[in-house]
Amino acid sequence: MVLYKIWGEKMKVRRSDRLIDMTRYLLENPHTLIPLTFFADRYESAKSSISEDLTIIKRTFKDRGTGVLETIPGASGGSRFLPYILKDEAIEVVDNLIEQMATPQRYLPGGYVYMSDLLGNPKILRQIGRIFATQYLNQEIDAIMTVSTKGVPIAQSVANYLNIPFVIVRHDIEITEGPTVNVNYVSGSSERISKMSLSKRSLKPKSKVLIVDDYMRGGGTIGGMASIVKEFDAELVGVAVVAESTVSKERSISNYTSLMRVDAKDNAVYAQNGNYLDKIYND
């Protein structure tokens, strides 16, 4: 009995160790197929034990709303972790964002809204990244595209969960970007012609591109990025923004996902749900 206990404890420790480290590894390598042999070698364990571990992790990830752990059987099989966020948790996240947005302190002259603090908060960025990564859980995307400066944190967070690169379109032309592709676009808010550019090296032709940004007003900037996608002979798979302003006139971009609809007038900021529930959780 004593021996059994010791053996039992030893086994327990082994499995615990594997479960903890496998969880960490899977979380840090989302959307990546990890062969069974990788874990078997790493822990000097039988593949059958690793399979059991994965079954346990899969169940816990599902029960706790962490994501899907796909398991691919066979010799070339393995597992792939696809992070998501469940509807209830997403609603909680966006409700919290809305509450933080709708304060008069954020009002800026001209109907602009201050939200740089939210876009510099790692926890909020992780949550936003998880929501957009949920929408594109099963879709092939090669790169995220955004425009400097405030779109960058959003792009990085989504890219982190989808484990794909992000590229940054710039309004200025920087020497460290090398040769660039440039487009002109009409800035919706001021009806003025502006220029944006992307390094020629940054995007392969035929890439499937998801455009993300922090704030969409008239949609001109997003439209500019869409024409850059075209110039690169790449394919636009979607547009995701944290906030869209409530505008009266029609936008050039009609298919997009937004977390919030924001209105700034008379020294106050109003915020409500964007279209994300329909776009992401419509089934």
For binding to a copy of itself (CB under 8 A), which residues are involved? 8, 12-13, 15-17, 19-21, 23-24, 27-28, 56-57, 59-61, 63-64, 66, 108-110, 112-117, 120-123, 125-126, 148-150, 152-153, 156-157, 159-160, 163-168, 170-172, 174-178, 199, 201-202, 215
Residue 211's Cβ-side half-sphere holds a number of Cα atoms within 13 Å equal to: 27
Nearer to a copy of itself, 217 or 259 (CB): 217
* Complex with a copy of itself: residue 7 or 95, whichever CB lies closer: 7
User: Residue 259: which of 174, 140, 135 has the closest Cα?
Assistant: 135
Burial 33-60 (b: 16+ CB within 10 A, else e): ebebeebbeebebeeebbbebbeebbee
Tell me: cis bond preceding 149? Omega within 30 of 0 counts: yes
To a copy of itself, the closest distance from the beta carbon of 282 in angstroms equals 27
Are the beta carbons of 276 and 194 closer than 8 angstroms?
Answer: no
Q: In the bound complex, what is the minimum distance in angstroms from residue 228's beta carbon to a copy of itself?
A: 15
Q: Which is nearer to a copy of itself, 107 or 277 (CB)?
A: 107
CB of 234 to a copy of itself, least distance (A): 15
* Nearest-approach distance from CB 278 to a copy of itself, in angstroms: 27
* Least gap, CB of 273 to a copy of itself (angstroms): 22
Of 171 and 279, the one with the shorter C-beta distance to a copy of itself is 171
Of 69 and 253, which has the nearer Cβ to a copy of itself?
A: 69
